Amino acid sequence: MIKKILIPIFWLSALGMAEAQVYLRTAGVRLDETSVGLSLVQRIWKPVTVEGILEFRQRDFSAVLIPRVHSKILGRRLNAFVGLGPQAGWVKTSDTSVQPYWAVSGMLGLEYKFNILPIHISYDFRPIVFFDGHPDLFGFQSGFAIRLVKKSERKAWKEKWKKWKEDAKDWFESD
């Protein structure tokens, strides 16, 4: 009975994930209540992206790499995503000492890619579990990111189509 319920739900959600995202690469700024960061999102394959974040805080600096799985909500432009990945950095433990640390960072959020503008925005929640070197055991962040779309899916298809037309023209003219 449970299989009859779970299998259709799995396939419906997988179909929704397969069409999520209309960008291949975005880069921009990520802001939260205590930090400023640089963010780069690269699609690996549908529906998976990897987000790299460099964060600058008053007390620490960190680098985060989070693979994310996307699922569309309303059309392909509004997506939900979830991910989990490593985080490493340096934290100021006193006025004179800085200590390296590592952690695991999760991510749950929403993103939207504007139709005409090359702008991608997202809002996410990030629970963090610190393992070594950080004075805290747990952390929690929520942040807003605004990114420029460096390469969209539409642009990639136009490039492929143009190359195919040129190759086809060369092939027919070579006879």
Provide the pLDDT confidence category of residue 3 given band limits of 50, 70 and 90.
low
Distance CA 104, CA 124 (A): 16
Domain 2-173 bears CATH identifier 2.40.160.20:
yes
pLDDT digits (tens, 9 = 90+) for 69-117: 999 888 778 999 999 999 999 998 888 889 999 999 999 999 998 888 8
The predicted model scores a pTM of: 0.73
pLDDT at 156: 61
Phi-psi group of 30: left, alpha or beta (phi > 0 → left; psi -120 to 50 → alpha; rest → beta)? beta
Q: How far is CA 131 from the centre of its chain?
A: 23
21 three-class SS: coil
Query: How does pLDDT run across 117-139, given as a tens digit for each residue?
Result: 889 999 999 999 998 888 888 98
Residue 24 and residue 7: Cα distance in Å, rounded? 30
